[in-house]
Amino acid sequence: MQIFKVGGAVRDRLLGLPVTDIDWVVVGATADEMLAKGYRPVGADFPVFLHPKTGEEYALARTERKSGRGYGGFTFHASPEVTLEEDLIRRDLTINAIAEDDLQNLTDPYHGQRDLEARILRHVSPAFAEDPLRVLRVARFAARYASLGFTVAPETLELMRQLSESGELQALTAERSWKEISRALMEDQPQVFIQVLRDCGALKVLMPEVDALFGVPQPEAHHPEIDTGLHTLSVLEQSALHEQPLTVRWACLLHDLGKGLTPEEEWPRHIAHEHTGLKLIKAVNERFKAPKDCQELALLVGKYHTHCHRALELKASTLLELLQNFDVYRRPQRFEEFIGACEMDARGRKGLEQRSYPQADYLRGAARAAREVAVQPLLEKGFKGPELGEALKRERLKALKAYKDEASA
């Protein structure tokens, strides 16, 4: 029995990056031998075991063969005869197909070290094209390592293109897709993930609503970058630079989908795109079964982001309606994330990345003014039920008018 460290732990150590998760492969062992040593089995599809003390995953060396559609369409074969090289060749990228023994001696049959030095994401073998999930994985790695200068090898991008055209991407489950998308959006350069998906034709399959934004112009006075797709990439980039949470990054990706529906004869204006985009945002949310908080924020940002940009011009009654729709009294964090997404939208414009965004603090102040209206005096006056709600609304409107007057003084 031989045990090797494999995959990301080896790759990141060689890149000088922090190593978090460690995966191990066991060569020359049977499942019974692993059980006899106290390893606990997990997973029904192939023999993976948890170390009795560390809890880390140890997988028996295995080969795999395509047997159906999608990510799960594989049969696996694990036996003591499977070599380390045979196990490594089934992996996605050469930089993930390097093994290391306990003395840090490397086994690198597919030249992963060479590709690490050349900053190239390259597939290990033609079997890469058998697994559609790898399109998303490679795009995610491109986003993660873009700052180090990594790019996708042309021949790998071509295989990704073939996969995108094959219909295999439709076989991916919503859960598997969301896992990759959500991880990619949290990388340092999530816009690279979207760009790589577009470069290989996967974006128009997975998110045609986002793909449709490229080539759609916006008024140059407000958007010096003009192209709506490029603007979306810039907004995503800003969301990562400002370390926004996943909810905000997802909303940033989807906020302008309505512009993809504007008839060409109306370009570059996009009247009411906030409302026309809601059905598209809802469709993308449902397609990937995004978590509820991501879904809700994406819809709210899509509907109200222009309200935020015009915050200083809004009437007190419109401000109150906005705050009510966000339920800022019970869910202040969601309103804060909305403001964050809108600020990223404002900064995601060519040459305007550093421009101040006073609307953010103005809306925070408005929310504070409305929240500070006390309920107790109204209860003492005898208000209750629906009448209490209306009285509270009147007092909050009064507070917002006073806030507006003070802010404009």
Residue 68 pLDDT > 70, yes or no? no
Residues 122-134 pLDDT 10s: 999 998 988 999 9
Residues 136-192 pLDDT 10s: 999 999 999 999 999 999 999 999 999 999 999 999 999 999 999 999 999 999 999
Residue 66 pLDDT > 90, yes or no? no
Residues 16-59 pLDDT 10s: 999 988 999 999 999 899 999 999 998 666 689 999 999 999 99
Structural contact between residues 106 and 99, judged by C-beta atoms closer than 8 angstroms: yes
Residue 88 pLDDT > 90, yes or no? yes
| Predicted pLDDT of residue 47 | 84
State the average pLDDT over residues 201-212.
Answer: 98
Name the residue among 49, 39, 34, 24 with its Cα closest to residue 80.
34
Residue 69 pLDDT > 80, yes or no? no
| Predicted pLDDT of residue 409 | 78
Q: Quickly count: other Cβ atoms within 10 Å of residue 364's Cβ.
A: 15
| Predicted pLDDT of residue 346 | 97
State the average pLDDT over residues 393-403.
Answer: 96
State the average pLDDT over residues 396-405.
Answer: 96
Q: Which residue(s) pair with 3 in the sheet?
A: 26
Residues 299-316 pLDDT 10s: 999 999 999 999 999 999
| Predicted pLDDT of residue 193 | 98
How crowded is the C-beta side of 343, counted as CA atoms within 13 Å?
A: 24
| Predicted pLDDT of residue 44 | 65
Residue 13 pLDDT > 80, yes or no? yes
> What span, in angstroms and rounded, lies between the C-alpha atoms of 147 and 143?
8
State the average pLDDT over residues 229-235.
Answer: 98
| Predicted pLDDT of residue 243 | 98
State the average pLDDT over residues 393-409.
Answer: 94
| Predicted pLDDT of residue 390 | 93
Residue 73 pLDDT > 80, yes or no? no
